[in-house]
């Protein structure tokens, strides 16, 4: 396998090629490791490499294929794992200094399922401390850089994951998403990302919560979802089929069937709702891509109508998300850290709406928390009604495309970002358009929608809760019209 072949290869295509004998797992791994050696020093996407373990797994995959019989769905496919998921015998840090030398004795459920599906685990990908930011700077491993422009961030928290897939270090990643942590990096790096319905995929072995020797308190119980990053929607369908379903530990995961890529296309035009006004400005690149969407989708035969979001106050949704997130994240914080954030809250201007709401949540006002949960239920009902007669809602992933990367710790004041001539608070500019669908727990696919002035732009496709398969099927039909994955020019 050479670079030009790897530039366009997807996880689903690789799995089929290996099963049918056109490609060996060892040859594919060699090609991925060659790219790691060439490009990872500059991009810093993978922070722990397991070359010996990956080679052993690839050899085993080739032996299994040669022996015949039933073959698992990801046999021989190189995957990487966000360093928030525990990996048996392989360092897992979540970019948290007390976990610098932590080597778990068990796999997170999603990791165990990927192994059982035949995946070859190449290594662990970088993230901000405890997956707690929309950029990708780690106090342990430093800054991860965007493959389209190394001066820019790949987004976060699954930043290393998106870079690894875009660069060909791996072909599939397991990711987690509380406030856009799969969707934002996917958009900034030009790959596809899928956040499943809340509780569709078990959280067992994901940090946070912390391992037992550091307290083990389960904190974030709502709005956190899991999923995959890949180069095509078929990759995301494969990831869901492998990772979803109860594990006997995370009791909130229901037993639901997964259709995967086998869901039939009935041939009718997709009915789509375009909603790009969420009370925040959009950068010029994003506006340009969204201006072309109606013509693109109409030419592909789909039916698009513009929505106004009547009765929806996006600022209120961001406020409600922030308060719930503040309470639940705060439950896992050391007391001194929570107190420090409460002190810093008084220094925040009124325009820092999301950060102020998170800080209010840290006060643990249970009446306010319960009111926020009630408002969340109302928003879920409202959004489900909006989606009742369409296949998906389309909206931007973020106000801006990738912006300059820099070291930012939890107590550093992030810069404001200039978007369409307005100086936006950092969280509003980055996660302001993703958190409404974290609040609702909806399934969301982030797809590359085009490259504008040298940077990729993403679109969110939002579906009905528990309608993950239907949403992915719709995304697969939209993918050709939107353009799909492109290898970043500097890596070709």
Q: How many other CB atoms are found less than 10 A from the CB of residue 479?
A: 18
**Is residue 262 annotated as part of the catalytic site, yes or no?**
no
How far does the chain reach from its first CA to its final CA, in angstroms? 14
> Residue 252: CB partners within 8 Å, gap ≥ 6?
199, 221
Sign of CA dihedral 376, 381, 386, 388: positive
| Closest by CA position to 138, among listed 470, 421, 409 | 409
**Is residue 181 annotated as part of the catalytic site, yes or no?**
yes
Judge contact between 87 and 108, C-beta under 8 A: yes
- Nearest-angstrom CA–CA distance, 27 and 32: 9
- Nearest-angstrom CA–CA distance, 178 and 437: 10
Give 296's DSSP letter: H
| Closest by CA position to 42, among listed 158, 134, 151 | 151
| Closest by CA position to 397, among listed 289, 272, 261 | 289
Judge contact between 81 and 87, C-beta under 8 A: yes
> Residue 182: CB partners within 8 Å, gap ≥ 6?
158, 161, 175, 176, 193, 194, 195, 227, 228, 229, 446
Backbone angles phi, psi at 197, to 5 degrees: -50, 140
Q: Which of 181, 192, 359, 442 is catalytic?
A: 181
Looking only at the bridges linking them, the beta strands covering 142-143 and 271-274 are unpaired
**Is residue 64 annotated as part of the catalytic site, yes or no?**
no
Task: Report CA-CA distances (Å) from 336 to 216, 332, 342, 409.
Answer: 18, 12, 10, 16
* CA–CA–CA angle 234, 239, 241 (5° rounding): 95
Q: Which of 64, 82, 124, 195 is catalytic?
A: 82
Give 148's DSSP letter: T
Helix (H, G, I), strand (E, B) or coil at 258: coil
Q: Which of 12, 24, 125, 157 is catalytic?
A: 157
- Nearest-angstrom CA–CA distance, 491 and 150: 11
CA torsion, points 69, 70, 72, 76, in degrees to nearest 10? 20
Residues with active-site annotation: 82, 157, 181
């Amino acid at each position: 396998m050479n670079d030009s072949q790897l530039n366009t290869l997807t996880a689903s295509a690789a799995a089929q090629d290996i099963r049918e004998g056109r490609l060996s797992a060892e040859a594919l791994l060699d090609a991925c490791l060659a790219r790691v050696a060439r490009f990872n020093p500059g991009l810093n996407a993978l922070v722990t490499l397991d070359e010996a373990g990956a080679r052993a797994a690839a050899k085993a995959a080739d032996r299994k294929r040669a022996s015949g019989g039933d073959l698992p769905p990801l046999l021989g496919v190189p995957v990487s794992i966000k360093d928030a998921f525990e990996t048996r015998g392989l360092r897992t840090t979540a970019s948290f200094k007390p976990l610098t030398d932590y080597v778990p004795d068990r796999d997170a459920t999603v990791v165990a399922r990927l192994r059982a599906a035949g995946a070859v685990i190449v290594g662990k990908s970088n993230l901000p401390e405890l997956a707690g930011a929309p950029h990708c700077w780690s106090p342990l491993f430093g800054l991860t850089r965007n493959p389209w422009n190394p001066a820019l961030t790949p987004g976060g928290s699954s930043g290393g994951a998106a870079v690894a897939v875009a660069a060909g270090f791996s072909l599939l990643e397991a990711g987690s998403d509380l406030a856009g942590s799969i969707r934002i990096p996917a958009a900034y790096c030009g790959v596809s990302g899928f956040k499943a319905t809340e509780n569709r995929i078990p959280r067992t072995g994901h940090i946070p919560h912390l391992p037992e020797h550091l307290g083990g308190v389960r904190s974030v119980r709502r709005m956190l979802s899991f999923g995959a990053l890949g180069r095509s929607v078929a990759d995301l369908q494969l990831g869901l089929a492998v990772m979803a379903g109860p594990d006997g530990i995370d009791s909130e995961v229901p037993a639901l069937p997964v259709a995967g890529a086998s869901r039939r296309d009935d041939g009718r035009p997709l009915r789509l709702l375009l909603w790009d006004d969420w009370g925040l400005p959009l950068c010029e690149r994003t506006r340009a891509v969204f201006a072309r969407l109606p013509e693109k989708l109409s030419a592909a035969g789909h039916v698009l109508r513009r929505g106004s979001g009547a009765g929806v106050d996006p600022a209120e949704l961001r406020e409600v998300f922030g308060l719930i997130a503040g309470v639940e994240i705060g439950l896992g914080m050391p007391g001194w850290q929570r107190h420090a954030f409460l002190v810093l809250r008084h220094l925040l201007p009124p325009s820092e709406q999301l950060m102020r709401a998170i800080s209010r949540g840290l006060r643990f006002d249970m009446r306010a928390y319960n009111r926020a949960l009630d408002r969340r239920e109302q928003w879920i009902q409202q959004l489900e009604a909006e989606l009742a007669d369409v296949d998906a809602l389309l909206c931007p992933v973020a106000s801006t495309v990738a912006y300059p990367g820099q070291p930012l710790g939890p107590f550093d004041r992030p810069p404001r970002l200039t978007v369409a001539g307005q100086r936006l608070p950092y969280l509003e500019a980055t996660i302001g358009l993703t958190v409404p669908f974290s609040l609702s727990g909806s399934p969301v696919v982030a797809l590359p929608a085009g490259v504008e002035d040298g940077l990729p732009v993403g679109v969110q496709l939002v579906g009905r809760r528990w309608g993950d398969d239907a949403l992915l099927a719709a995304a697969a039909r939209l993918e050709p019209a939107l353009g799909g994955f492109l290898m970043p020019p500097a890596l070709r």
